[in-house]
Every structure is written in C-alpha cells, then in structure tokens.
Chains A and B, each alone.
Chain A
Amino acid sequence: MNARRLWAIVLKELRQMRRDRITLAMILGIPVFQLILFGYAINLNLRGLPAGIVDQAHTSASRALVMDMLATGVVEPSERADTPEQLMTLLRKGRISVGIVIPRDYERRRAEGRAVAQILVDGSDTAVQSAARQLAQVPITDDTLPDLRAPPTSTPPEGHIRVVAFYNPERRSAVNIVPGLIGVILTMTMVLFTAIAIVRERERGNMELLIATPLTRSELMVGKVLPYVIIGLVQTCLILALGVWLFAVPVRGWLVDVFVAAILLIVANLALGLLISTKAKSQFQATQMMIFVFLPSILLSGFMFPFAGMPKVAQWIAEVLPLTHFLRLIRGVMLRGAGLWELWPDVLALVGFTAVMMTVAIAQFRKRLD
C-alpha cells in the first residue's frame, strides 16, 4: 500500500464531502435529530396520563390517597370503573394507561404495613411505565398525623404501593437508550455513506478512470473508509455531548473505552458498507441493501427489545450484527463502568466481523469492468 496514493484518496473524499451539503447535513443532522426525537420518547416527566380509579375501600383515607395521586398531575381520571377487571379491560383497549386499585381492606393493610394499593400500568410503553412509578412514591397520608408538612417520616418504605407492569416487565430507562443510540446512528450513517460513496463513483463514471490507474484495490477501499472514521467519531462526540448535557447520561467507565468501542463499530460498519458497494449497481440499490442490515440491527440487537427475551434464531442472527456487540460494550462501559478488556468477547467479535467483511469486500472488488 502506497501512502501517497492512499492520502490522495482520503484528501479527495474530504474535499468532496466538504462540498456536499446534503451529506454534511446528514452527518450532523441525523444524530441531533434522532437524539431529540428519542429524547422525547424517553422523557420521564409525563403528565396527564389517562387513568381509571377503582376505590373499593371508600374511606376518607383512601379518598385522600387518590387525591394525592391526582395532585401529582401524572394521571388524570378519564374512565369510570368499579372493579379491577374493568380496569384491565380498559387498559387492554388502550382507553387508559394507568389503573389505580385501592382494595376494600385498605385501612387494615395500611395498619399492617402491607401493600395498600395497586397501580396497573400499560407497560408496552416504557415511558408510561416509568411515569407510573412516580405514583408509587406518593406518601400515604396518615390522617392521625395533624401536620402534613412534618418531616417526611410519613413516607412509607417502598413497596406499600405495588406497581404491576403488564406486557413489558423489563424496565428500561433513558440512560439505556442514549448509549444505544450512538450505535444505531453509526450503523445507519456509516454503512450508507461508504456504500454510496463507491457506488456513486461507479454511476458517475469516476470508477472507470480510477481502475485504469495504478491505484490498488486496498488503497482505494481503505482510502474511502478512513475519512468516514473521522466522521463517525465526530458523530459519537456529538451524541455523547448531547446525551450528557440534555439527558444526564452517565459515563461511568473510561471515555477512551467509549471511543475505542465506537471506532470498532465504525470500522465494522464501514467494511460492511464497502461490501454492499461492491454488490450494488446503483445508489438506490445500495440504500435498499442498507435497510436490510439496518432493520434487523435496530430490532434484534437489543436496542429496542431485550436480547434475552428473543427466540434462539433471532439471537443467532443478532450475534452476527455489529450493533449487538457494540451495545453490550457501550452499555457495559458507560452504564456499568466496565473496562473494555472485561468485555473482550464482544471486542473480538467486532474485530473479526471487520476483518472478514473487509477481506471479502476487497476480494469482491475487481479492477475490471466485467
């Protein structure tokens, strides 16, 4: 590999990129846009969730509890119901997101320190689920205590109001999404950029010129990929900064590890993009093929749905996707404060994926027109 020719390709790519406003807009726009969009989805401060309330106790204390819950503003009574079963039906139909059940023996339960009320949550929406949990924090007012402004001794230990989440028992929070989002955005943009960068040259006829020169296949491929590594890192910085700033996402592990993990994913995706580019005949085809990779990545990697809950076959497919391994790395590093070396199987998987894809891509690329 000749350094000068390699640099010539890199420089050319950077110069072209600088003049391509749509690509530039995509590089910066996609991360910001997605983060803001997902930011709303993971906003925990939901208000005015439609709720159904079944107060079977009908005591002043139970009514006081209901009033306290309503006072939080999280829920708003919207449907009438008399039994927990009716609440379940309303919940299933999507008429309410939260159901509050106060059992007949409320007073006794409170006296005995057992769970005093049940909140039924539509867990299919994680944001709702999280919001409903706030309700469980409502202090159970003891009307024998005259001063409500007394120090929070009246706050019962957790567990007095039981939250039962239906449909999605695993609770995932905002911090879980932002690290994953780095992976999703890198998967989306990196694969597409490289795939298109090469196919575009073929469409415009540049490729015929390039292959008639002494440029080698590796120089061409690596030279095409390198500028996008930089772009990928810029995107990573952007998402991280916004994630920390807007959503207070923690970085518990080393920042270096975060970037190493990002680079591993970037090169894996770029190699995949190259492979696509050797197969696609037009930019449109390249985009289509990219969607074939992108959808399973989003759905199976564990970004949207927990990996452990997937059927075996889906897990096998997921193991082939770079995003799956990246998610394990980045969540480990950012959220659990793990070191990359502790997560070596996934590091190895990403390196292996890159090596295989790159080799196949270079082997597939012919300096020929036939």
Chain B
Amino acid sequence: MNTEAEPAIRARGLTRRFGELVAVDHVDLSVPRQRVYGFLGPNGSGKSTTIRMLCGLLTPSEGEIEVLGLKVPAQAEELRRHIGYMTQKFSLFEDLTVRENLEFMAAVQGVPRAQTGQRIDTLIEQYHFEDRQKQLAGTLSGGQKQRLALAAAVIHEPQLLFLDEPTSAVDPESRRDFWEKLFELADAGTTLLVSTHYMDEAERCHRLAILDRGRLVGDGTPAQMTAALKGRSFIVVSTRPRRVQHALASLPGVLSAAQIGASLRVLTEALDAVDAASMDALRERIQATVHEVDPDASCTPSDPNLEDVFVAATHDGRAREAA
C-alpha cells in the first residue's frame, strides 16, 4: 500500500466550518511523496486549519482524508507515529533546555531507548546546538527556536512532516538555512508539507497549492503555474509611478498594478488567446493609458512570477465565486 506511486496525502472535498464561517471549503489535494509541497495563502486562508485536519487534530465537517494510506481522523492515533508536526507558534517547552526538550520528544515519540542518546547527539550536531545544549529553549533567538522545533519534529524520523508557517518569525538568513534543512529531509525520503505566505519560499517548493479564503484556487509546480500566465505580465517604468498606478487601476482588464520602486508590475486578466497579436493589442492598451499620464513611460512584457500567479489565482477564484 505504501508504494512510491501512492501519494502521501489525498483529500477530497475537505471542508471545515466554525459556526457560520467556512474556514476550508471543499479542498481536493494530492501530495506526492518525498517532495516539498507548499501551501501558499494569506493569513486566514485556511492553511493552518487544513494542516490540522490532515494530521487529525481537527475533525473535518465534510470530506475524506487519507494520509500515508491511513484514514483520518479514524486512524489518526496510528498516523501520529509516522508524522512530525511543527506548529506555527513555538510549542516546545521554554523552561526546558535544548537537550531536555529533545529527550522529552524522543521518549514521547518512541525513539528506542538505546538509540536516544545517539540520535539526540546527531541532531544537536546537525542543527548546530553543540554550545547550547544546556540553554533554556525560551532564551533562544527566533531562528534557533525554529531549528530546535524542526529537530524535535524529526527526532523519530517521520515519513511525513507538517510545517505550519515555520519561518514567519525568522530573519532571511535563518530562513535560507532552514530551507536547506527541509531539502535535506526531502532528499532523505521525507515528504514535507509547508505552509507559507512568502513568495520566495513558495517558489522553492516542488509543488504548490494556493489557498484563498478557504478555497483551493491553484495547484501545480511553480514553473507550470507561472508558465500558465504567459503574456499577462508587464513592467511599466515611469517617473510618476503612483499616478500611473492610479490610472491603470481603473483600466478594464488590469488585475493589479503593484509599485516596485520606480516601476510598476502590471498583471492583466486572462487572454482569450495567447498569441503575438493579442499580446501586442493588450500592450498597446496599457501603453495608451500610461502615456496619458506620463508620456515618457515605457511598457515592456515581463516573465510572470509567483506573485502574479498568486494575484491571478485569488482573483480568478473570486471571479468564479461571484459568477
């Protein structure tokens, strides 16, 4: 059953309601094994709720979940032996030392007693805690806390690791180190599901699901998803970017015009046909609007990035909802 081809996580029609609020709305997921799978979405989009349902901490209002071949929540207890879960908020014990925290997690996760010492030593070395074994976890920096939380989450070498916004309180360099660790784990055969609201992190994932207000609005590899937006992205350079932005915002067909320094990143609605003629026509229209405000402004097509994917996906999702 646990064959390579079988996805690590499969969910169908996953829904969770909190009273009137629909936090997760009929989400279908298929997460392949041994990959880093990303959940991208703004705060309140249902990322945490979905992750909690997948590891059996929340009961779905509707829908079916199968994780590592086990039905959730029915077989959640069995599943817990095979998964690691890193919560959004640091949830190890701040009044225990680094080593005590790891000892606790090893015992609780059932790491064989004979191997515990060895395993902890390895983790301490891998995660660079050699000098801090006796430091209280509460006194660690944000980045160190995340590293410790990750070390604790993988202490029993789980097949599947859930990470809920693991880097939201971490500086850029720590984030880069952290992601190195995630890829090492994926290489070693672990499946990782990571939620984030950082585009650069989403870009690193093998595969990505975009969530917006509880709905799955996009799904695929980052490359596939950006490729699908070909022709919809432009860069406008102007000396009066804010006025140009204002003019573009009211132009039909423009989804967003985001200022980046002196330039604007413009994303348009889906084209009827992706060919040279229609792309040129679109560019003409934008150019005309821009020139009314700033005759010296330039408008050039640009390669779509994940930010565009995100904006397009959430917009398209909402448009579908409205229809």
Contacts and interface: CB of A to CB of B under 8 A. Distances in A.
A8 B89 CA distance: 22
Nearest to B97: A15
Contacts of A213: 80, 105, 108-109
**Binding site secondary structure of chain B:** loop
A182 B207 CA distance: 63
Interface in A198-240: 204-206, 208-215
Contacts of A4: 107, 110, 113
For chain A, give the interface size range.
20 to 34
Nearest to A213: B108
Contacts of B87: 205, 208-209, 212
Given A8-B107, A213-B108, A213-B109, A208 B58 contact: no
Nearest to B90: A205
B80 A214 contact: yes
Interface string A1-31: 0101101110110011001100000000000
A126 to B, nearest CB: 44
Contacts, number: 77
A368 B72 CA distance: 12
A369 interface: yes
Contacts of B110: 2, 4-5, 214
Contacts of B83: 212
B30 interface: no
Interface string B50-81: 00100111110000000000000100110011
B91 A204 contact: yes
A179 to B, nearest CB: 35
Interface of A: 2, 4-5, 7-9, 11-12, 15-16, 19-20, 204-206, 208-215, 367-370
Given A204-B94, A205-B87, 19 more contacts: A2-B110, A4-B110, A5-B108, A7-B107, A11-B104, A12-B100, A16-B93, A19-B95, A19-B136, A206-B93, A209-B87, A212-B56, A212-B80, A212-B83, A213-B109, A215-B108, A368-B56, A368-B57, A368-B58
28 contacts: A4-B107, A5-B107, A5-B110, A8-B107, A9-B108, A11-B104, A12-B93, A12-B104, A15-B95, A204-B94, A205-B87, A205-B89, A205-B90, A209-B91, A210-B108, A212-B55, A212-B80, A212-B83, A212-B87, A213-B105, A214-B109, A215-B108, A367-B76, A368-B58, A368-B59, A369-B57, A369-B58, A370-B59
Interface of B: 52, 55-59, 73, 76-77, 80-81, 83, 85, 87, 89-96, 100, 103-105, 107-110, 113, 136
